[in-house]
Structure 1
């Protein structure tokens, strides 16, 4: 079995996969591959899949599969999987880094300090007491909600397919979700519907 690692992964991955077959990062061997591992860079379109007649499995190292034509792959007997919980904490932490840094002008403060300025007149804010609106309440949004609660934020969420959550007050419409929001965080797959 040939396993093609098509995108950048941790350097230890090839060694971990060796018990399962031959491992390569040579994209020119796509036509021989039985398994392809991708992240976001590789687009598994119909044309890409048609170049891989031996392909049996596509695994996306990440949450969504919007870079994979899942319907076409499955019509060819190819299984499509992802790793939905693998980056949930990292993405939640990034959302919080942005909620902390952007309204608090951290880049401006940093650049001011580097140039010898003490910028006391820049506006800043706290997360405490603010309202966070989440669109979607899956793995990542749940991690964001947990952290928001720890910061003393009110959390509301809109998810067409979820009616209750222990982490957020669910609201029935998108308009109601954003009505009092100080922050909005989107955690939805990229589909025609979303």
Structure 2
């Protein structure tokens, strides 16, 4: 019997087409929680992005589920421990979005350093504020990277080519030759830019809090493309108000989509709706990795489930 695959979020259209040739595919992007609990009952595989939350209550309804594929990297929307207890394998497409997220970080740094957003808005309004916003070069500036996994290392390499001094903090990865590893507090105190690349765990929840902000170099720029809950947004607002933080770029928020936020009052900040992996190339790589994961799954279950 062919695998029954439930896809609950938007994926590249070619993935649905390719999978449908071989499997029974149920494409339900944007499915609501109550419908999800019904749909998941007889499915063998589920493919999700960050929107769909597979907690204990949902997974308890899955009678046949053997594989969860996260189209992306972060697994904080999945109760992985409970999935393992039920014999459900959890996989992600860990390499697909490395370049896309890294380029977004570099783009954020350039936009912040050259005041591109306020200058664009000013020019659109009919002003010619050529001398009002004076930017600065990235060359020679200190970039502190918190979390030097695949994306953190990629950002570091790109920043090195721009002539930046790259420093890193990671309690698990310290073997990257082109990153100078220092303590967390040192990252905070010397960095002109801080870029966050850690998963959301109990240890990283509100890693950037008021205490951390107080230790930062005055005038720092903060970039977060990892998970919103890693940054205490109230502490970030306080840092922006005091001038300790000159600006920020957030692709992720504590609540997504964010409701009314004091952060939106600051013109020196850039906000995007969790688009780190949202490029044509990354989506194609995600498609390819999902297909490979399913091929490996077929080896374990050669005759279907």
Any idea what the Cα deviations from partners look like across 1:145-170, whole Å, max 9, x if unmatched?
11101110000001001222122111
TM-score (structure 1 length as normaliser): 0.94
CA distance in 2 between partners of 1:130 and 1:11 (Å): 41
Does 2:144 align with 1:133?
A: yes
- For 2:106, the equivalent position in structure 1 comes to 96
CA distance in 2 between partners of 1:19 and 1:25 (Å): 14
Does 2:5 align with 1:3?
A: yes
CA distance in 2 between partners of 1:96 and 1:19 (Å): 39
CA distance in 1 between partners of 2:4 and 2:63 (Å): 12
Does 2:87 align with 1:77?
A: yes
TM-score (structure 2 length as normaliser): 0.61
Runs of 4+ residues over 4 Å off in structure 1: none
Aligned residue among 59, 74, 82 for 1:64: 74
Any idea what the Cα deviations from partners look like across 1:77-100, whole Å, max 9, x if unmatched?
100000111111111111111111
CA distance in 2 between partners of 1:52 and 1:100 (Å): 46
- For 2:58, the equivalent position in structure 1 comes to 48
CA distance in 2 between partners of 1:25 and 1:47 (Å): 22
Any idea what the Cα deviations from partners look like across 1:75-131, whole Å, max 9, x if unmatched?
001000001111111111111111111232211111122222211211312111100
Partner SS, residue 175 of structure 1 = helix
Please show how residues 1-194 of structure 1 align to structure 2 within 5 Å.
Answer: 1-26=3-28, 27=31, 28=35, 29-120=39-130, 121-171=132-182, 173-194=183-204
CA distance in 2 between partners of 1:100 and 1:184 (Å): 13
Partner SS, residue 36 of structure 1 = strand
CA distance in 1 between partners of 2:57 and 2:181 (Å): 41
Please state how far the C-alpha of 1:20 moved relative to its aligned partner.
4.0
CA distance in 2 between partners of 1:56 and 1:20 (Å): 18
Q: Which runs of 5+ in 1 are unaligned?
A: none
Q: Which runs of 5+ in 2 are unaligned?
A: 205-305
What is the root-mean-square deviation of aligned Cα atoms in Å? 1.3
CA distance in 2 between partners of 1:176 and 1:32 (Å): 51
More helix by share: 2
The number of aligned residues is 193
